[in-house]
Amino acid sequence: MSSKYQVWVLAAAVAAVGLSGCATQVKRVGVEEVKDLSGAWNDTDSRLVSEEMIRDSLSGGWLKRHRSAHKNEPVVIVSSVRNLSHEHINTRTFVNDLERAYVNSGDVRVVASKNERENVRSERSDMDLHGREETRKEMGKETGADYMLMGSINTIIDASGREQVRFYQVDLTLVNLTNNEKVWTGQKKLKKEVQNAKFRF
């Protein structure tokens, strides 16, 4: 075996080892496991904040007053949550967490959002043309909401060098759709200290 061939084989082996060391590695983790990699808003924040705020909402006096006046569970529509923060936050995920927490509580009923209703209405219209008569769903049978939940996510970033303190404030308001009365307001604050932060906002 020539020395040139040996050098080539050795170089190829070294390159292979180097590439294997740079290969992407994936490790599955539990959905409930907390992983703060960047210090930014993440799935754990979304889940914990939504669950806590819905618990606070359901303990408010508005629920008792509604049940006393109407003898049934209130119907809620979860509207948009505006992202007024420095970060890109998927507020749709947060809205879904809010809806799930409300539905799973069993204390309120939740109706579809505006975009979801448009899809359902389109399907109902198509069904009216193509579905068997005994299976068609009539128009004008939708359940109207009693209350609308809306809110915003704000941040304050305090940074010095590569150290940051990130402050998040989530505000939610539940509005009576009949008279625009704010029947409940909730607020949740989070603060994270990030060392060796790579990004500034």
pLDDT of residue 45: 87
Q: Residue with structure tokens 């995920």?
A: 93
* Element housing 137 (H / E): none
| Alpha-carbon torsion (31, 34, 35, 36), positive or negative | positive
Measured CA to CA, the distance from residue 161 to residue 123 in angstroms comes to: 55
pLDDT in tens, 98-145: 999 999 999 999 999 888 999 999 999 999 899 998 998 988 999 999
pLDDT of residue 11: 62
| Alpha-carbon torsion (126, 132, 135, 138), positive or negative | positive
Which pair of structure tokens corresponds to residue 153? 């996510």
β-strands 163-176, 182-194 pairing: antiparallel
Neighbours of 21 (CB within 10 A): 7
Measured CA to CA, the distance from residue 164 to residue 86 in angstroms comes to: 13
pLDDT in tens, 139-195: 899 999 999 999 999 999 888 887 888 899 999 999 999 999 999 999 999 998 888
Pair 125, 54: CB distance under 8 Å: no
Spans of all domains in the chain:
38-113+144-194
Neighbours of 195 (CB within 10 A): 8
Q: Which CATH superfamily is domain 38-113+144-194 in?
A: ABC-type transport auxiliary lipoprotein component (3.40.50.10610)
Q: How far is CA 107 from CA 47, 62, 101, in A?
A: 19, 12, 10
pLDDT in tens, 33-91: 556 666 788 888 888 998 999 999 999 899 999 999 999 999 999 998 999 988 888 88
Amino acid making up residue 174? L
